[in-house]
Amino acid sequence: MPNRVAIVGIGQTRHQNTRLDVTLPEMINEAVRAALADAELSLKDIEAVFTSSMETFEGIYLPDHGGAAEIGTYMKPGFKVGTGGTSGASVVVEGFSMVSGGLYDLALVIGFEKQDCGETTAAITAAATPIWGKGAVTGAIGEFAKQALSYLETSGAKEEHAAMVRLKADRGACLNEYSHLKLGLKSIDEVLQSGYLVWPLRMLDFCPQSSGACALIFAEEKKAKKISKKPVWIADVEVVHQEPFRAGTFGDPTGKETYTQHVACERLYKRNGITKPMKDIDMAELYEPSNWEEMSLYEHFHFCEKNEGWKLVEQGVTEIEGAFPVNPSGGVIATNPIGATPTIRVAEAALQIRGDAGGHQVPKDIKTALATALGGPNWTVLTLLKRSL
């Protein structure tokens, strides 16, 4: 039988657009030190280190090698993961697999991105071939504008509903000491008055470029129970990556057959006896690069029926005090250090289960949480967390 694995240490930096006060390794070191302090461990206790970032976004080759001393990788086994937007979740899966498989009892998992070192949009738009990847060369903004337009035209949602999601995110971010954008938005009109990036996607509808890091410490069951009074158990993970490229397009953005989220959640739910996600799971930290995408994800993960995600927003269901809180941390719309973004989703979900989320702690008791990751043209990673197994 595989080992049971728990998160026993959580550390984050404060996320900002620029961190000119530190080098990349020094920034990562802040998260590592915080995770070690949270678990009351030293770096000597850690047996392996796994890291995640997208090198092209920083323009720095193998940054984990250049900062081995600061990051904690010196003379320790491990490897670096890079799977686009899902990188920070892929590294969670790899660390979990190594501890679950018995190779290590204690592992350090780190996601990071210092986007003030390079140009992320330029890297994304230059990553595709001009023929087969033509649909990707508009970059993330263009693709999520297409998604927003599709959802606007087919679901019955209005721009006001997207603005409501943005207000929810900002309220959470303003309560979260680690979040990047804390705008203090007060009304729907403030969001609707922001300029368009690509219609109907507005400036305030989309995620920022952030610099920051997040570190987690994984332990096998016996060590976890000795180390932490509040271990958070990784109940299950699921990875579904697909390359749905066609000449000049990503394919139908609304078709069920094109979305890995459907496949991933159905597999995860079936294995864990989840038949009513909004009752069997207490809250979710979703990877939502835009407020329009968040409403779609409600549907893809079966929180509601197709074209009804905006109704959950309208009814206040996904607010921090709602029946099913989503992204009480402020989510990706507020904080987006890409290599760390999915790691942060796991960290924030774990903090909610521990009751340690501070100002953005959900008022109801959280025993089970879902953390998701989204990347590339059609990639999904899910992590199911529980207080007890």
* Pairing of the two strands 80-81 and 48-52: parallel
pLDDT at 344 over 90: yes
Q: Dig out the tokens for 348 from the structure.
A: 């924030």
Please, are residues 112 and 14 in contact by the beta-carbon 8 Å criterion? no
- In this prediction, residue 130 carries a pLDDT of 60
- In this prediction, residue 59 carries a pLDDT of 83
Cα 188 from chain centroid?
25
- In this prediction, residue 139 carries a pLDDT of 66
pLDDT at 280 over 90: yes
Q: Which of 81-90, 137-146, 288-297 has the lowest mean pLDDT?
A: 137-146
- In this prediction, residue 148 carries a pLDDT of 94
pLDDT at 292 over 80: yes
Q: Dig out the tokens for 195 from the structure.
A: 């300029």
Q: Among 295, 299, 264, 269, which Cα is nearest to 378's? A: 264
Over residues 97-106, mean pLDDT:
98
Say if residue 74 is exposed, middle or buried (CB neighbours under 10 Å; 0-12, 13-18, 19+).
exposed
Over residues 120-140, mean pLDDT:
63
Q: Among 102, 92, 109, which Cα is nearest to 39's? A: 109
pLDDT at 383 over 50: yes
Please, are residues 145 and 252 in contact by the beta-carbon 8 Å criterion? no
Q: In the 8-state DSSP scheme, what is residue 228?
A: -
pLDDT > 70: what percent of the chain?
91
- In this prediction, residue 248 carries a pLDDT of 41
**Residues 1-35: pLDDT tens digits?**
789 999 999 999 999 999 999 999 999 999 999 99
In this predicted model, which residue has the larger pLDDT, 375 or 183?
183
Please, are residues 70 and 28 in contact by the beta-carbon 8 Å criterion? yes
- In this prediction, residue 128 carries a pLDDT of 63
DSSP character string of 60-124: -SSHHHHTHHHHT-TT----EE--GGGHHHHHHHHHHHHHHTTS-SEEEEEEEEEGGGS-HHHHH
pLDDT at 131 over 70: no
**CA gap 371, 132 in Å, rounded:** 32
- In this prediction, residue 118 carries a pLDDT of 79
**H or E segment and range at residue 197:** strand 196-198
pTM of the predicted protein model? 0.94
Give 61's pLDDT tier (boundaries 50, 70, 90).
confident
- In this prediction, residue 193 carries a pLDDT of 97
Cα 100 from chain centroid?
22
Mean of the per-residue pLDDT values of the chain: 92
- In this prediction, residue 132 carries a pLDDT of 58
The torsion defined by the Cα of 153, 154, 156 and 161, in degrees rounded to 10, comes to -70
pLDDT at 244 over 70: no
**CA gap 102, 112 in Å, rounded:** 26
* Pairing of the two strands 211-220 and 106-114: antiparallel
pLDDT at 52 over 50: yes
Instruction: Name 240's bridge partners.
Output: 380
Three-state DSSP state, 281: coil
Q: Which of 236-240, 372-376, 384-388 has the lowest mean pLDDT?
A: 372-376
pLDDT at 376 over 60: yes
Over residues 234-262, mean pLDDT:
68
Handedness of CA 294, 300, 301, 307 (dihedral sign): positive
Domains of the chain: 5-120+209-227 (3.40.47.10)
Q: Among 150, 127, 82, which Cα is nearest to 295's? A: 150
**CA gap 171, 155 in Å, rounded:** 25
- In this prediction, residue 156 carries a pLDDT of 95
